[in-house]
């Protein structure tokens, strides 16, 4: 029964929760997983996104082991990586890091990879990596300084949040917009529905 299905989101990201809510889905439980997100030597950004999403799902699965209330839940995890070529741009916490990242992104293209991982109630893992090409306009030093002053870069991969002020920096985009926000909705819902999760059962009634 669809009403018996439970969805655990192995993330505490407000953006991912908002995106799922936009699609009519309210996770039954949020389980942010604290894992080491350091890239391995020579690891490709796409591989990193895939590995981290898998490790978050594995950690969430281990955390509910033995808990009968959540034993047959769906577990959804995701990880977003921003890169210029093979150079991975970490989540920024300091103004110097943010300024460096924005100067690097200014006037050039970069890739956003989101790895999504779904654990089925039967314990099977289903994964997909979605990529989007984004090109920023050339940013002036004044724009970068003012954006840093806004604080919207803090804790964001690549030092920007496309759903905020930085959306005005985007000159061109090829691929999924929701992927850049942090969770590619089409691919995520396709994974869920393909594994028997009744997405539409959670849609609100008018």
Tokens for 64, please give them.
């509910």
Q: CA-CA distance, 128 to 77, in Å (whole number)? A: 11
* 187, 130 contact by CB (below 8 A): yes
12-41-103-114 Cα dihedral, nearest 10 degrees = -40
A 10 A CB-CB count for 191 gives: 20
* 101, 152 contact by CB (below 8 A): no
Q: Give catalytic residues, as residue numbers.
A: 79
Report the run of H or E that residue 149 belongs to, with start and end.
Answer: helix 141-150
* 180, 174 contact by CB (below 8 A): no
Q: CA-CA distance, 123 to 192, in Å (whole number)? A: 14
């Amino acid at each position: 029964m669809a009403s018996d299905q439970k969805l655990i989101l192995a993330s505490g990201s407000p953006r991912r929760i908002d995106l799922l809510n936009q699609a009519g889905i309210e996770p039954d439980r949020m389980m942010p997983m604290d894992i080491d997100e350091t890239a391995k030597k020579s690891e490709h950004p796409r591989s990193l996104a895939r590995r981290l999403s898998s490790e978050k799902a594995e950690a969430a699965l281990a955390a509910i082991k033995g808990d009968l209330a959540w034993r047959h839940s769906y577990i959804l995890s995701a990880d977003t990586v921003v890169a210029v070529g093979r150079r991975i741009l970490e989540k920024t916490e300091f103004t110097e890091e943010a300024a460096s990242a924005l100067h690097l992104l200014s006037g050039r293209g970069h890739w956003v990879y989101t790895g999504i991982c779904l654990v089925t109630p039967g314990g099977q893992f289903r994964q997909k990596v979605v990529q989007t090409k984004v090109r920023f306009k050339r940013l002036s030093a004044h724009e970068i300084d003012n954006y840093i002053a806004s604080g919207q870069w803090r804790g964001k991969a690549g030092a920007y949040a496309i759903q905020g002020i930085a959306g005005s920096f985007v000159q061109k985009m090829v691929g999924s917009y929701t992927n850049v926000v942090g969770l590619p909705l089409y691919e995520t819902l396709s994974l869920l529905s393909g594994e028997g999760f009744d997405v539409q059962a959670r849609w609100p009634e008018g």
